[in-house]
Amino acid sequence: MSETTIQLPDGCYGVQMPWGEERNASKAGGRISVPDEYVPVIEGSSAARDGLVSTSRGYSVGTRRGRPCNDDNGKNCLFVAQVWSDHCPSCGSTTGEAR
Ligand SMILES: [Zn+2]
């Protein structure tokens, strides 16, 4: 099973998976790996809304797949957004198919 590494915000040690398992980083603000298919679940969870987990921006580690920026604005943006992002978090353009 492929996993995605997510960056925890400062002061956060871990996150509880939808099925109840807790995954903890070695230190607050560290990184944990979660199964790819649960990243959107975590992002949409109450924990994410409360700011305990930030998966939407500010990290680019551990993800093997992504949606390339379509560079709608002609800024030569080469950002590869997360697979669930339909807009580039860097410049706001649409993103292409995950690859
Ligand atoms: Zn972009």
For the segment 27-82, what is each residue's pLDDT rounded down to a tens digit?
Answer: 877 888 888 888 877 777 666 555 555 444 444 444 456 788 999 999 999 888 87
Q: Which two tokens stand for residue 36?
A: 């790819």
Q: Which residue range(s) make up the domain with 88?
A: 65-99
How many Å lie between the centroid of ligand 1 and the Cα of residue 66? Answer: 12
Q: Is the model's pLDDT at 2 over the cut of 80?
A: yes
Answer yes or no: is 17 within a domain.
Answer: yes
How many Å lie between the centroid of ligand 1 and the Cα of residue 52? Answer: 26
Pair 37, 71 in one domain: no
How many Å lie between the centroid of ligand 1 and the Cα of residue 90? Answer: 5
| Contacts of 18 by beta carbon, 8 Å cutoff, 6+ apart | 38, 41, 42, 45
Answer yes or no: is 55 within a domain.
Answer: no
Q: Is the model's pLDDT at 94 over the cut of 90?
A: yes
Task: Note the pTM of the prediction, 2 decimals.
Answer: 0.43
Q: How far apart (Å, rounded) are the C-alpha atoms in residues 81 and 79?
A: 6
How many Å lie between the centroid of ligand 1 and the Cα of residue 62? Answer: 20
* Total domain count, the chain: 2
* Number of residues assigned to the chain: 99
Answer yes or no: is 14 within a domain.
Answer: yes
